[in-house]
Amino acid sequence: MRGEAYITGVGQSQIGQKLTRHPLLLTLDAVKEALADAGLTIGQIDGVGTYPGRSAGYLGFSPVGADEVIDALGIDARWRLGAMEISAQLGAVAAAADAVKNGHARHVICFRTVYEAAAMARPEEYPPLRREKVDGFSQWMAPFNAISAACWTAQYATRHMKRYGMTREQLAQIAINGRANAALNPRALVQKPLTMDEYMTSRMVSTPLCLHDCDRFTDASTVVIVSGGDAIDEVKATPIRIAASAGAVDRVSWDQVEWMASYRTGPDLWKKTDYKPKDVDTVQFYDGFSFLTITWLEGLGFCEVGEGGRFIEGGKRIAIDGELPLNTFGGQIGAGRLHGFGFAHEAVVQLRGQGGARQIPGDPRVAVAASGGGPLAAALLLTKD
Amino acid sequence: MPRPQPRLDPDNRFFWTGGADGKLRFLQCQDCQQFIHPPAPVCRHCLSENVEPAAVPGTAVVDSYTINHQAWYPGLEVPFVIARVAIDGAPGVYLTTNIINCPVDEVDIGDKVRVTFQQEGEIYLPLFEKVA
């Protein structure tokens, strides 16, 4: 329908670690798969959007920008986006939706390419972030050896435990669920399920987050193609409508933020649609660190604030055959650190019934994909109409 | 490898060097009296440019914390406590810092702490220890 935006194709490269395939070619793999999925040709693409754009100071984080894809693939583009200063990773998809709704483009390739494991293995080719002298918001964290977002996220998780009684056994369900689902996803980075005992006895990273609460550096590319309603008749695949999107941005320095931006995203998302959380068949929520998924469950209104731990206790509710299947592809903890785009990819796979061994039962029609943590948040409400 | 150092600039120099005389300072708006952190040449509450560093008592309350076990770079000694503390006398201002001079498992939310500066060259890192 005119004035609407749809995800019309999804694609993904292999997901691995220390890959030697050029990151632009990993991107090409995902683009080709998404084009074939949608039934489009590269000549029909007239926009490219990504997050965060080429990251020159830390290439492993984002080795490929929109410019390079446009140039290397010979795309005749009218619209592009490659920005870190956007709501969050999936904000790039939301921005592409707005662009096609307003006629700035017809078919937009949205991609996220990560090369962090390869970069660690080949630092001379892909130099790591230099930390000897820090500025910007890093200066308020790194001098105290709060080097990783794990340390920043952990403090929110500590507060949740002390204030609301969340337990490690409850939190463990994010990783255990992700790893169980990853074992059903042939592309997932980690194929071995995780037991509660393995979780509880693994080493701590930054309390209460242990090793299994963290995703792993990954090399991969994920693509979703966003098309305008006026161009939808060119597409062969079942289009998935971006029924609503919402984002929130808080103060850049995490330590000045009382509540993660995910908590402001929920009310904004739901006021843009007649759908309610109870209508949602599956959720794909960011788990770069497990606790971030809890904030999304609470922030988007699937349970009360502070109830996230009890909501997932035992894991049955969020399993593939549960009432609210979560991160059915494995999440980032199981499938690899795809950095946000994996959640939108999987929501489309599930709504189309293409999940194979990990397909949720019934006829799912409504999904929510969300990414981000701390001051960054973006959510997409996706429907099969 | 030493811990990462802040790069001094016109906005942050007062903060990172202020410990030379033992004072913890934050920018305060001279018009609306609110405190501003991280430092910027404008008050985020009233858009006044009339902002000046002001000393606070140096005490704080632990808002949350984590015991870090991961050695993020070679030579980093673990475990240690990272905490977000609410600064007394500067409502709404928090600092990420380390709680030192006590066992790592003896820090809790609500603990009262006091600043103690650790000098590294020009920089005086505001670390905190528990108030007995």
Return the SS3 of A233.
helix
> Do A143 and B5 lie within an 8 Å CB cutoff?
yes
> Do A133 and B4 lie within an 8 Å CB cutoff?
yes
Q: How confident is the model at residue A189 (pLDDT cuts 50, 70, 90)?
A: very high
pLDDT value at residue A2: 82
What sign does the CA torsion over B36, B42, B47, B48 have?
Answer: positive
What sign does the CA torsion over A292, A297, A299, A300 have?
Answer: positive
Q: Which of A301, A307, A299, A289 minimizes the C-alpha distance to A262?
A: A299
A185 secondary structure, DSSP code: -
pLDDT value at residue B33: 98
Residue A73's CB: how many other CB atoms inside 10 A? Answer: 17
- pLDDT tens readout for residues A329-371: 999 999 999 999 999 999 999 999 999 999 999 999 999 999 9
Which chain A residues are closer than 8 Å to B11 by Cβ? none
Phi, psi of A231 (to 5 degrees): -115, 5
> For residue B31, what are the CA distances in angstroms to B44, B90, B91?
12, 15, 16
Is the overall model pTM greater than 0.95, yes or no? yes
Q: Check if the beta carbon of residue A339 is closer than 8 Å to that of residue A92.
A: no
B86 Cα to chain A: minimum distance (Å) = 10
- pLDDT tens readout for residues B67-116: 999 999 999 999 999 999 999 999 999 999 999 999 999 999 999 999 99
Which chain B residues are closer than 8 Å to A146 by Cβ? 68, 82, 96
Rounded to whole angstroms, the Cα distance separating A309 from B32 reads 41
A299 Cα to chain B: minimum distance (Å) = 20
The interface predicted TM-score (ipTM) is 0.98
H or E element, residue B1: none
Tokens 């770079």 locate to B73
The alpha-helical segments, DSSP class H, found in chain A are: 23-38, 66-72, 91-101, 116-121, 149-164, 168-182, 196-201, 262-270, 290-299, 308-312, 331-335, 341-351
Instruction: Give mean pLDDT, residues A100-129.
Output: 96
Rounded to whole angstroms, the Cα distance separating B87 from B118 reads 18
Q: Check if the beta carbon of residue A96 is closer than 8 Å to that of residue A108.
A: yes
Which of B4, B64, B127 has its CB closest to that of A158?
Answer: B64
Q: How far is CA A340 from the centre of its chain?
A: 2
**Measured CA angle at A127 (ends A121, A128), to 5 deg:** 85
Please enumerate in sequence order all residues whose Cβ is within 8 A of that of A271, keeping only pairs 6 or more positions apart, or say none: none
Q: Which of A74, A77, A15 minimizes the C-alpha distance to A50?
A: A77
Return the SS3 of A90.
coil
**Do you find a cis peptide bond into B4, omega within 30 degrees of 0?**
no
